[in-house]
Amino acid sequence: MLFQPPIPPKYAGLTDEQACAMILERKKALGSRLVILGHHYQQDEVIRFADFTGDSLKLSQVGAEQKGAEYIVFCGVHFMAESADILSEDGVTVILPDLSAGCSMADMAELDQLEDAWDFLVGECGQEVIPITYVNSTAAIKAFCGGHGGACCTSSNARAVLEWAFKQGGKVIFLPDQHLGRNTAFAMGVPLEQMVVFDPALPNGGLSPDQARDAKVYLWKGHCSVHGLFTAQQCDDIRRMDAATKIIVHPECAWEVVQKADMAGSTEFIIKTVSEAPAGSKWAIGTEIHLVNRLVERFPDKAVRSLAGIQCLCTTMYRIDLKHLAWTLDALAAGRVVNQIKVEAETKRLATVALKRMLENVTPVPVAIK
């Protein structure tokens, strides 16, 4: 995780009103040279300045399509800014307004850990393994997958990518989110007994050579700290309170939660499902609270609430605030770049291979995994 030094007092002392005025003014001055991207989980105060909103991959693709843009300011987390840099043309500068806006899940898989896992599974156990990484991972992990016959996936297309992977080789190592891997493979008919958790903190992932040989899917021991807050008990409580409420959750939730839910799918799938639901329908949603609150506001004719009684907030994304955005844009308008996210050339090349393999083998339509 990167560290963000304190921003100059001139910006740290801004009121929200002053910061908003500065952002609007600098945005206007920079015009089409600047694109601001806002992830679905971003706080309202910031996302209102975004030119585009969406999930991480969609935003990176949209950013790359903006011909003439010189700067992409990504109001998301670090791996998203890396993806934007990987997909954008040379000469485009990608900026993350707060360097400490990391992703706890992406930080759970490091390149040297994956290299050790590979040596054990492929080298010692002689397994034919296809590495698949969720896009919520570092550029280095994406590059490893690209360089070893693997691919990236999103929560929308994980099933299609796994289908492709199983055709390439018998086994898959899925990282960094064990839950997305387990939920997707289970929905495809892979029994839980054929999936083992690979714990990078333990020698050989905590697996014996026999366990490694017998498994079909190796699930990296990583998770999202936000979606990990949803529980099967919360599903039971909702059912008890009101049987008419439908439960829809993100597949980064634990398997037990997904099994109890009515539906599971990506953020785009959740938005589409609730948007198309009839007036009067009731929804309990298991995903980040800013997205849920936006759906509450957008659909006053439907009863929308969070599945959890607690605030399930992506605290790292929340670090991007008005002051950091104002600081970033003020510097750009003055011809200075702060907080550039730049992926090294060879890593970029191999990560692009993994992203391209994903895009060539899947449909962009958000699908349910349950």
Chain residues in the site for ligand SF4 (CB under 6 A) = 41, 77, 103-105, 136, 224-226, 288, 314, 316-317
Q: Which is nearer to ligand SF4, 120 or 220 (CB)?
A: 220
Q: Which is nearer to ligand SF4, 82 or 288 (CB)?
A: 288
Q: Which is nearer to ligand SF4, 87 or 353 (CB)?
A: 87
Q: Which is nearer to ligand SF4, 288 or 330 (CB)?
A: 288
Cβ at position 102, least distance to ligand SF4 in Å: 8
Q: Which is nearer to ligand SF4, 69 or 341 (CB)?
A: 341
Cβ at position 112, least distance to ligand SF4 in Å: 21
Cβ at position 227, least distance to ligand SF4 in Å: 6
Is residue 188 a contact partner of residue 174, using CB atoms and an 8 Å limit? no
Q: Which is nearer to ligand SF4, 129 or 369 (CB)?
A: 369
3-class SS letters over 150-190: CEEECCCCHHHHHHHHHHHCCEEEEECCHHHHHHHHHHCCC
Cβ at position 134, least distance to ligand SF4 in Å: 8
Cβ at position 132, least distance to ligand SF4 in Å: 16
Of the candidates 304, 331, 205, 298, the one whose C-alpha atom is nearest the C-alpha of residue 246 is 304
From CA 60, how far away is CA 126, in angstroms rounded?
A: 37
Q: Report residue 360 as tokens.
A: 């060539």
Cβ at position 128, least distance to ligand SF4 in Å: 29
- DSSP code string of 32-78: GGEEEEEETTS-HHHHTT-SEEE-HHHHHHHHHH-TT--EEEEES-H
Residue 194 phi/psi, 5-degree rounding, is: -95, 10
Cβ at position 274, least distance to ligand SF4 in Å: 18
Q: Which is nearer to ligand SF4, 26 or 179 (CB)?
A: 179
Burial class (CB in 10 A: 0-12, 13-18, 19+), 70: middle
Give every CB contact of residue 183 below 8 A, 6+ residues apart in sequence.
Answer: 251, 253, 255, 258, 264, 369, 370
Of the candidates 114, 38, 29, 33, the one whose C-alpha atom is nearest the C-alpha of residue 325 is 38
From CA 33, how far away is CA 69, in angstroms rounded?
A: 4
